[in-house]
Amino acid sequence: MTSSNQTRSPEQALLSVKDLAMMYGNRIGCQNISFDLRPGEVLGIVGESGSGKSTLLNCISAQLKPTFGSVSYHTRHDGEQNLFEDMSEPERRFLMRTDWAFVHQNPRDGLRMGVSAGANIGERLMAVGWRHYGNIRDTATDWLGKVEISTERLDDLPSTFSGGMQQRLQIARNLVTAPRLVFMDEPTGGLDVSVQAKLLDLLRGLVQNLGLSVVIVTHDLAVARLLSHRLMVMKSGHVVESGLTDQVLDDPQDPYTQLLVSSILQS
Ligand SMILES: Nc1ncnc2c1ncn2[C@@H]1O[C@H](COP(=O)(O)OP(=O)(O)OP(=O)(O)O)[C@@H](O)[C@H]1O
């Protein structure tokens, strides 16, 4: 007889990436990438411009089909599914609208600028089957509050918002469906330093309170330090170092990571 304790396996990875490579013709986008992301874990991907961060993020979020390797996701209902072999395009799209979220650097890429703030949030709820107008409006109002936007702005267009507000609205739109996995591409890039700090605080609170699993791409080591549990350092399409964030940043082993860390300390 086996007790539940004996049968309990180590926590299942939510996202599992194996030997992933993306080639643009002869040019390497990224290569030899393998990692697991566990539920509630925040993984930071750092590296200089052109090191392959966005390519990797786009491959693991099913926006680009990798040239080699596999990306598997532990779905709510069907267990582990290989994104590109087991799932159809409509199934991947459904996942992106519901269980996943993508926060773009430029809020314009993640918002519908022609509809109100409330509709931007409500649209995601409708994608998961919500139909009751009053409930959708109430939840949208609630989320505006959570991202510190005055609820009086519910019917305003995002174009009337400041950059920081647009970014917070994009976050509300993304998180309202309680996704399990959030991809973020330089979410604080392009904002003033003081606005960045406020947004980072907000993001950190939401990630902790909602227990989100996150893959965040950033070239800003301070952002990586504040948000991520683990770090992957990329250079020329390869991972040169990975580990616990504090370990990597406080005691970098790879010469490139050492350079990256020391250049931040000097600036
Ligand atoms: N659509 C594309 N066609 C051809 N080459 C590409 C394409 N996208 C990226 N690359 C190349 O792949 C490599 C990695 O680029 P990628 O954009 O992933 O880097 P990155 O680390 O995200 O850079 P940044 O921080 O500037 O966004 C670079 O050599 C780049 O020139």
For 231-260, the DSSP string reads: EEEEETTEEEEEEEHHHHHHS--SHHHHHH
pLDDT band at 197 (very low <50, low <70, confident <90, very high): confident
Whether residue 77 is predicted with pLDDT greater than 80 in this model: the reply is yes
235 lines ligand 1 (CB under 6 A): no
Q: What is the pLDDT of residues 31-48, one digit of tens each?
A: 999 999 999 999 999 998
Instruction: List the one residue out of 33, 17, 44 whose CA is nearest residue 213.
Output: 44
State whether 131 and 255 are in the same domain: no
Q: What is the mean pLDDT of residues 50-70?
A: 96
State whether 225 and 194 are in the same domain: yes
State whether 208 and 140 are in the same domain: no
Residue nearest to atom 1 of ligand 1 (CA): 24
Output the pLDDT for position 194: 84
Q: What is the pLDDT of residues 92-131, one digit of tens each?
A: 998 998 899 999 999 999 999 999 999 999 999 998 899 9
Output the pLDDT for position 87: 96
Whether residue 2 is predicted with pLDDT greater than 70 in this model: the reply is no
State whether 172 and 196 are in the same domain: no
- The rounded distance, in Å, linking the Cα atoms of 192 and 29 is 30
Q: What is the pLDDT of residues 145-191, one digit of tens each?
A: 999 999 999 999 999 999 999 999 999 999 999 999 999 999 988 78
Output the pLDDT for position 263: 83
Domain that residue 229 falls in: 15-99+180-266
58 lines ligand 1 (CB under 6 A): no
53 lines ligand 1 (CB under 6 A): yes
Which of 150, 178, 206 terminates a domain? The answer is: 178
Q: Which atom of ligand 1 is nearest to the CA of 25?
A: 4
| Of 180-184, 193-197, 252-256, the least confident | 193-197
State whether 83 and 206 are in the same domain: yes
Residue nearest to atom 14 of ligand 1 (CA): 52
Whether residue 9 is predicted with pLDDT greater than 50 in this model: the reply is no
pLDDT band at 10 (very low <50, low <70, confident <90, very high): low
Task: Tell me how crowded residue 134 is: count the other CB atoms within 10 A of its CB.
Answer: 7
- The rounded distance, in Å, linking the Cα atoms of 177 and 168 is 15
Q: Is residue 105 part of a domain?
A: no
pLDDT band at 4 (very low <50, low <70, confident <90, very high): very low
Token code pair at residue 233: 């350092």
Q: What is the pLDDT of residues 210-230, one digit of tens each?
A: 999 999 999 889 999 999 999
Q: Say what the ipTM of the complex is.
A: 0.97
Whether residue 80 is predicted with pLDDT greater than 90 in this model: the reply is yes
- The rounded distance, in Å, linking the Cα atoms of 235 and 52 is 7
Whether residue 18 is predicted with pLDDT greater than 50 in this model: the reply is yes
267 lines ligand 1 (CB under 6 A): no
68 lines ligand 1 (CB under 6 A): no
What CATH number corresponds to the domain at position 195?
3.40.50.300
Per the structure, how many domains does the chain have? 2
Output the pLDDT for position 3: 38
